[in-house]
Amino acid sequence: MAAAPRILVDNNKGLKFTESPRWHAGKLWFLDIHGKAIKTAELDGTLTTVLDLPFLPNGFGLTADGTLVLGDALARKVFRWDGKTLQLTADLAALTTFCLSDGIVDANGRFYVGDIGYNFFDPANQPVDTCVIVKVEPDGTASVVADQLKFPNGMVITPDGKTLIVAECMANRLTAFDIDASGQLGQRRVWAQFPDDVHPDGICLDAEGAVWVANPEGADKLLRVVEGGHITHRVQVETDAYAVMLGGQERRQLFICTSATHNPAEIARNPSARIEVIDVDVAGVGRP
């Protein structure tokens, strides 16, 4: 593994706050949440705006044919973009509370998205343990497939499509579910329990079955953990890490979404977003 991450692209090119990185078609695709856009970064640092949006996005994935699936975070709606038209797919307002969190698209085009469940912009508000994961079918049919979660955040799906792992940010753990043929989630279990100073955010999966975890509020900003909770690697960045993705050649590069803050007012005054990258030994697998 390389000694330290290097900067691929930063706020000097207009980035506000990067999230939900995805490796697709030889590029890193990601949300610039406060920039209200979907963007791509190439391995040489070339930055492209794919789609400007009229809302703050959160939850993002790509289908097998390259269709973009994304959430309007505060209105709690899901859209699809086929390269020409941004089309409303589902309204999740009746199933969720306050704001959409991270999401993931499976091999069948289903979109799983978390619910933050409380106004985290207001420091006086306390996190809740009534958050859900909603499954949105390609035709827009939506249903709650998991509940009683504490801020579901990043998600991965194993290569066989049979297990979904979600970061429960405020429960300091990764939680796994079996996925049945219809996309329902069951057999909930703790995949890894962390100490209190780990609040897992974005995650990705490697070929040895380990999960890379972004930990924006802890001393160790990036962790690699195996099932059961043993931490094999710890990586530092200059600021805070919010999301990760394994991509690049042979998917042996770990892309890291970093920022000095996630406070919207501070981001508006002084954005510090970066995409950083570090070489790793074990390639990425599964989805995203």
pLDDT tens by residue, 145-176: 999 999 999 999 999 999 999 999 999 999 99
In a domain, 20, yes or no: yes
Instruction: Write the single-letter amino acid at 262.
Output: H
How far from chain centre, in Å, is Cα 218? 18
In a domain, 40, yes or no: yes
Quick check: 250 pLDDT over 90? yes
In a domain, 250, yes or no: yes
What domain range includes position 179? 6-279
Q: What is the mean pLDDT of residues 103-132?
A: 91
In a domain, 232, yes or no: yes
pTM of the predicted model as reported, rounded to 2 decimal places: 0.96
- pLDDT band at residue 125 under the 50/70/90 scheme: confident
Quick check: 122 pLDDT over 90? no
Is residue 117 exposed (0-12), middle (13-18) or buried (19+ Cβ within 10 Å)? Answer: buried
pLDDT in tens, 212-229: 999 998 889 999 999 999
Alpha carbon separation from 123 to 119, 168, 197, 199, 239 (Å, rounded): 8, 19, 18, 16, 21
Quick check: 99 pLDDT over 90? yes
Q: What is the mean pLDDT of residues 197-226?
A: 96
In a domain, 80, yes or no: yes
- Take residue 186 and report the two structure tokens written for it: 């069951």
Provide the mean pLDDT of the chain. Answer: 95
- Provide the pLDDT for residue 152: 97
Number of CB atoms found within 10 A of residue 203's CB: 25
- Take residue 261 and report the two structure tokens written for it: 């803050």
Total residue count of the chain as it appears in this document: 288
Is the pLDDT higher at 265 or at 143? 143
- Provide the pLDDT for residue 214: 98
- pLDDT band at residue 2 under the 50/70/90 scheme: low
User: How far, in Å, CA of 275 to CA of 29, rounded?
Assistant: 11
Find out whether 112 and 100 touch, Cβ atoms under 8 Å. Answer: no
Domain count for the chain, please give it.
1
Find out whether 275 and 255 touch, Cβ atoms under 8 Å. Answer: yes
Quick check: 56 pLDDT over 80? yes
Task: Read off the CATH number of the domain in which 53 is found.
Answer: 2.120.10.30
In a domain, 288, yes or no: no
- Take residue 55 and report the two structure tokens written for it: 């809302």
- pLDDT band at residue 121 under the 50/70/90 scheme: confident
Find out whether 106 and 92 touch, Cβ atoms under 8 Å. Answer: no
Quick check: 123 pLDDT over 80? no
Quick check: 54 pLDDT over 70? yes
Instruction: Write the single-letter amino acid at 98.
Output: F
Quick check: 3 pLDDT over 80? no
Quick check: 25 pLDDT over 90? yes
- pLDDT band at residue 120 under the 50/70/90 scheme: confident
Q: Which DSSP string do the residues of the chain spell out, in sequence order?
A: --SS-EEEEEGGGT---EEEEEEETTEEEEEETTTTEEEEE-TT--EEEEEE-SS-EEEEEE-TT--EEEEETTTTEEEEE-SS-EEEEEE-TTT--S-EEEEEE-TTS-EEEEE--S-TTSTTSPP-S-EEEEEE-TTS-EEEEEEEESSEEEEEE-TTS-EEEEEEGGGTEEEEEEE-TTS-EEEEEEEEE--TT----SEEEBTTS-EEEE-TTSSSSEEEE-TTS-EEEEE--SSEEEEEEEESGGG-EEEEEEES---HHHHHHS---EEEEEE-SS-B-SB-
Quick check: 9 pLDDT over 90? yes
Quick check: 33 pLDDT over 80? yes
Find out whether 127 and 117 touch, Cβ atoms under 8 Å. Answer: yes
Backbone angles phi, psi at 247, to 5 degrees: -155, -155
Quick check: 195 pLDDT over 70? yes
In a domain, 1, yes or no: no
In a domain, 285, yes or no: no
